[in-house]
Amino acid sequence: MNPSDGRGRARGRGRGLARGQSQPIRPANQQGSPTQAGNPRFAGPRPAQPRSGNTNVPRVPGPRTSRPSIEEVTTKFSEMETGTPIPIGRGAIRGREPIVTPQISYYRAPRPESSKSQTGKQGASGQPVSLISNYFPIKTYTNWTLYQYRVDFSPEEDKVMVRRGLLSNHKDFLGAYLFEGTMLFSSKKYKSDKFELTSKRNSDGQIFIITVTYTSVLEPGDYAYLQVFNLLLRNCLRHLELKLIGRNYYDPVAKICIEKLRLQLWPGYETTIGMFDSGLLLRSEISTKVMREETVYDLLQEFMRESHRDRDWFIKFKAAVIGTTVLTNYNNQTYRIDDVDDKSTIKSTFPKKDGTQMSYIDYYHQKWNIKLKNVGQPLLISKKKKNVLDKSDTDRAIYLIPELCILTGLSQSMSDNRMMMRELAEFTRVNPRERIIRYNKFMNRLLSTPKSVETLKNWNLEPGKNLVNINGRVLPPQKIACNTHQFSAGDRGDWSNALRNAPMYTSASIKRWAIVAPQNVMADVQKFLGSLKRVSDAMSFFLPRPDIIPIPNPTIKSYTDAFENAINGMNPSFIMCIIPSNRGDTYSAIKRHLCVFRAVPSQVIVLRNVQNNNLSVITKIAIQINSKLGCAPWLVKIPRKNMLIIGFDVCHDKQNKNKSFGALVASINDEQTVYYSCVTEHVSGQELSDFFTANMTKVLHAYRSHNNKLPSGIMIYRDGVGDGQLSYVHKTELANIKSVCKEFYKDEEESPQLAFIIVKKRISTRFFTSGQNPQNPPPGTIIDSVVTDPTMYDFYLISQHVGQGTVTPTHYNVIEDTFKDWSPDKMQQVTYKLTHMYFNWSGTVRVPALCQYAHKLAFFASQILRGTPNTGLNQLLYFL
């Protein structure tokens, strides 16, 4: 939390679909478009008219009858008896762990040679610690060879359920197989590599020629092979009477209702089977799904009540709904909302298979016996993007009814409500002991449910009943150096108390600075200044008396006019602003003026923090000011000299999903206390690597300008990389960086040694101390065996102390390492040291400071400035 701004920490990067959510799969497009019923009640902007020719025709969600919808096919598997086809839903391809097809491949960056020594990727420093993790060993499994075939239908059939039925007519000939709609996996090799089968569709007698073509063989150990195990595991979870929502299974029977918040919490599990350094393991992590007791129509009515004084109410409603995931209350399916069609209502019609038109209101009454209430409500649009397995060339649209769509997840206003989040945390924050109990309950339930036991037995899978044991190591507490003092970071990685009376490592010298505040709070400002003076003097940060500029009222224009008068009249080194509340528009306007139009470091403080006069908060404000002016409050020594360390992250613009901002922050001196940063705006379709390359060029120029030489070593911590982006980062970003270095160092005797580390925070792995009283491992805990990936140079690091709940480790994947004589020990130690250097918090953070700075800057540019900052601020941490 930024104590001065009174604003929450950057919560994430808006990476499209929320974790655990997925778009539904719908039937193929048909010709025609819905007949629109005029909707004069909604004055929102009209959607673009479709062009002539094929159009995206809305499909209503299918009922739960003997002919299930395609979404149901993706989440349900038939019983796994010999000769029975097992459908693999497309969700397996669209999720994090895709089935590998000729069009879809799973990428692993080659493991660097530095991790292939006698000790491999494991370090040795630190005190040993016995740990357990949320993984269960798979004690036995059969190494079958699986054969992959492509299945084509003539004439073409878009519905996976129908394709599955046509193929199942030949189950006696095909034997045991798995079929996901296009690819068939069999445990036996058929005599012919290409053969044809004939089937008749029951609904109309249409004859189909099914062509089965051999494509490849999957051996044990192949990534695609492992996905078969995951599909079988998902089938077992279905047998536990859990409900699939998105990618995970939840237990609606065990839901927790929080009536005053109008929320439900559904407990559930996130599971996967994978190959790790210790063999085949099953990971289980508990998950909670937030279900709101309100529909999209309820939300619509809230915005409608503001229509008499807010002409943009419908635009704001759309902004609140688009991107959310809803649960339809008639068939318990989840959909991601991509648009709102205010031209259509429930009276609008869509074409049926026989060519006749049917209204949505009639459809829901006939099919579901639901009488829709408000005939004027607009329709919600969920788009199913074209998949490589789809036959059609266009996206598909599903039209949903607001009053039948239950909102899931937390809205932005809910997330910003601290009181609500504290109440939710009482239910969602789980301590290590309780978490381990839930893991064991899950495994006991899996191994005691008859149908899941039968499924596991049929495939010779036998999970162990006990969590895996791991030997970890705890690195010693780091030494924090100030100007004349040195002290330990302590076992909890927090040196806040020790810092209060210690002189900062380097302190800024300010000649003139200004405070802009409303006229009616001047008495509070004077008292605050006295406290700020005492606190900063104690840390040898000597602030002169500021020029106080009162404004008659706290409007944006009053602030910006005062800024211009101050800048033109006194050219202050720094401007502090006191604002009545943390309204986003005022804060953003101030920051845009001073960070884009001008280049003046600033500190925005909410009035309540001025009036509270809390010395702890004021101490943090003094540290922030000093840091924003280019100085360092403390230091952790990095052993290697002449090294450039870089953090890079990406954040998406919430209001424009096609726009994102890439931020690069680098330390350009030996002590890692002088910084250079740059931000680039990236539009969908542009190569992100081009911006990374351009920024890399700027950083090398800045390093050479500051040191009169180029670095001999470069470490890059790359955050914001999704599972599907690793190939691009390795093959394109890293390659381009090497090209930049080659150009820069063409006249140097040696090329720089380079390390490129992928940083991943959004993970499901957890660790606990073993014994009768399991606890969170202490800061500095390293795990580099058992649950690490045998194809990677990777390790886990726990760098933070967590007082409540369970700590989440950070995963590091080193995809490039050309440092000479740099062991895994040194890589791990430097990474841990860097988690101490984030000046916005007098304690360790989850990632190296350069990564945290890059994340903070990317968020600041995309959400606050909504543009690129003034280059005059590039060498300051102005964004803290």
For 424-448, write each residue's pLDDT tens digit. 888 888 999 999 999 999 999 999 9
pLDDT of residue 653: 76
Tell which wins on pLDDT, 631 or 108: 631
Region 622-647 average pLDDT: 95
pLDDT of residue 31: 33
Region 456-461 average pLDDT: 80
Please report which confidence band the pLDDT of residue 385 belongs to, taking 50, 70 and 90 as the band edges: low
Q: How many helices (H) and strands (E) does the chain have?
A: 23, 39
CA distance 78 to 676: 57
The residues annotated as belonging to the active site are 649, 687, 719, 855
Q: Residue 273: is it exposed, middle or buried by C-beta count within 10 angstroms (0-12/13-18/19+)?
A: buried
In this prediction the pTM is 0.82
Please report which confidence band the pLDDT of residue 96 belongs to, taking 50, 70 and 90 as the band edges: very low
Residue type (1 letter), 763: I
pLDDT of residue 561: 94
Q: What number does CATH give the domain 507-628?
A: 3.40.50.2300
Question: Above 80 in pLDDT, residue 348?
Answer: yes
Task: Give me the half-sphere count of Cα atoms (radius 13 Å) on the Cβ side of residue 160.
Answer: 28
Q: Residue 743: is it exposed, middle or buried by C-beta count within 10 angstroms (0-12/13-18/19+)?
A: exposed
Interacting residues of 245 by C-beta distance below 8 A, sequence separation 6+? 20, 21, 266, 268, 289, 327, 334, 408
The Cα angle at residue 326 between residues 321 and 328, in degrees rounded to 5: 135
CA distance 644 to 710: 9
Which pLDDT tens digit goes with each residue over 158-172? 777 789 899 999 988
The answer, yes or no, to whether the previous bond of 546 is cis (omega within 30 of 0) is no
Question: Above 50 in pLDDT, residue 27?
Answer: no
The answer to whether the Cα torsion of 272, 278, 280, 281 is positive or negative is negative
pLDDT of residue 394: 52
CA distance 345 to 765: 46
Helix (H, G, I), strand (E, B) or coil at 409: coil
Question: Above 90 in pLDDT, residue 386?
Answer: no
Asked whether 500 and 619 are in contact (CB, 8 A), the reply is yes
Interacting residues of 109 by C-beta distance below 8 A, sequence separation 6+? 726, 727, 730, 792, 813, 815
Helix (H, G, I), strand (E, B) or coil at 799: coil
Structure tokens at 749: 């005797």
What percentage of the chain carries pLDDT values higher than 90? Answer: 51
Question: Above 90 in pLDDT, residue 626?
Answer: yes
Question: Above 70 in pLDDT, residue 9?
Answer: no
pLDDT of residue 388: 38
CA distance 602 to 393: 51
Helix (H, G, I), strand (E, B) or coil at 40: coil
Please report which confidence band the pLDDT of residue 396 belongs to, taking 50, 70 and 90 as the band edges: confident
pLDDT of residue 180: 72
Q: Give residue for tokens 């440092």.
A: 819
Question: Above 90 in pLDDT, residue 560?
Answer: yes
Structure tokens at 411: 């809205």
SS3 letters across 194-244: EEEEEEECCCCCCEEEEEEEEEEEECCCCHHHHHHHHHHHHHHHHHCCCEE
DSSP line for 425-480 = HHHH---HHHHHHHHHHHHHHHHHSHHHHHHHHHTT-EE-SSPPEEEEEEPPPPEE
Question: Above 80 in pLDDT, residue 85?
Answer: no
Region 232-238 average pLDDT: 84
Please report which confidence band the pLDDT of residue 387 belongs to, taking 50, 70 and 90 as the band edges: very low
Which pLDDT tens digit goes with each residue over 484-526? 889 999 999 999 988 888 999 999 999 999 999 999 999 999 9
CA distance 467 to 137: 7
Task: Give the dihedral of Cα atoms 421, 426, 427, 432; nearest 10 deg.
Answer: 120
The answer to whether the 507-628 and 643-873 domains have the same CATH topology is: no
Angle between helix axes 584-592 and 556-570 (nearest 10 degrees) is 20
CA distance 488 to 510: 30
pLDDT of residue 375: 86
Region 264-270 average pLDDT: 90
CA distance 393 to 377: 31
Structure tokens at 434: 């309780």
Please report which confidence band the pLDDT of residue 105 belongs to, taking 50, 70 and 90 as the band edges: very low
Tell which wins on pLDDT, 610 or 353: 610
Tell which wins on pLDDT, 360 or 18: 360
From 63-67, 362-366, 466-470, 643-647, the region with the lowest mean pLDDT = 63-67
pLDDT of residue 724: 76
Tell which wins on pLDDT, 351 or 119: 351
Residue type (1 letter), 709: K
Question: Above 60 in pLDDT, residue 392?
Answer: no
Which pLDDT tens digit goes with each residue over 653-672? 776 767 889 999 999 999 99
Instruction: Residue 729: name the closest of 676, 689, 784, 674 by CA.
Output: 689
Please report which confidence band the pLDDT of residue 685 belongs to, taking 50, 70 and 90 as the band edges: low
DSSP 598: S
Region 50-77 average pLDDT: 33
Interacting residues of 471 by C-beta distance below 8 A, sequence separation 6+? 128, 129, 130, 131, 785, 786
Interacting residues of 816 by C-beta distance below 8 A, sequence separation 6+? 112, 734, 754, 755, 756
- Length of the chain as a residue count: 880
Tell me the domain boundaries of the chain.
507-628, 643-873
Angle between helix axes 313-321 and 296-304 (nearest 10 degrees) is 160
Q: Taking all residues of the chain, what is their mean pLDDT, rounded to a whole number?
A: 83
pLDDT of residue 61: 41
Tell which wins on pLDDT, 777 or 374: 777
**CB-based contacts of 309-313 (< 8 A; 24+ apart in sequence):** 311/43
Region 72-92 average pLDDT: 30
Residue type (1 letter), 759: V
Question: Above 80 in pLDDT, residue 301?
Answer: yes
CA distance 855 to 647: 8
Please report which confidence band the pLDDT of residue 80 belongs to, taking 50, 70 and 90 as the band edges: very low
Question: Above 90 in pLDDT, residue 721?
Answer: no
For the chain, helix, strand, coil in percent to 5 are 30, 25, 45
Which pLDDT tens digit goes with each residue over 803-829? 889 999 999 999 999 998 889 999 999
Fold annotation for 643-873: Nucleotidyltransferase; domain 5 (3.30.420)
DSSP line for 538-587 = HTT--PPPPEEEEESS--HHHHHHHHHHHHHHH--SEEEEEESS--HHHH
φ and ψ of 187, to 5 deg: -85, -5
Region 868-876 average pLDDT: 95
Strand intervals (E) in 596-752: 602-606, 643-652, 659-667, 675-683, 713-718
524-540 burial by CB neighbour count: b if 16+ within 10 A, else e? bbeebbebbbebbebbb
Question: Above 90 in pLDDT, residue 118?
Answer: no
Q: Give residue for tokens 């301590």.
A: 431
Task: Give the dihedral of Cα atoms 49, 52, 53, 55; nearest 10 deg.
Answer: 0
pLDDT of residue 106: 62
CA distance 617 to 603: 13
Region 743-763 average pLDDT: 92
pLDDT of residue 221: 65
Which pLDDT tens digit goes with each residue over 200-229? 988 788 999 999 999 988 877 677 778 778
Question: Above 80 in pLDDT, residue 283?
Answer: yes
Asked whether 21 and 94 are in contact (CB, 8 A), the reply is no
Interacting residues of 94 by C-beta distance below 8 A, sequence separation 6+? 22, 23, 387
Interacting residues of 39 by C-beta distance below 8 A, sequence separation 6+? 342, 343, 344, 345, 376, 378
Provide the phi-psi class of 685: left if phi over 0, else alpha when psi is between -120 and 50, else beta: left
Question: Above 50 in pLDDT, residue 25?
Answer: no
Question: Above 50 in pLDDT, residue 100?
Answer: no
Give the H/E segment covering residue 849: helix 849-859
Region 261-282 average pLDDT: 90
Please report which confidence band the pLDDT of residue 4 belongs to, taking 50, 70 and 90 as the band edges: very low
Task: Give the dihedral of Cα atoms 838, 839, 845, 850; nearest 10 deg.
Answer: -10
From 115-119, 303-307, 752-756, the region with the lowest mean pLDDT = 115-119
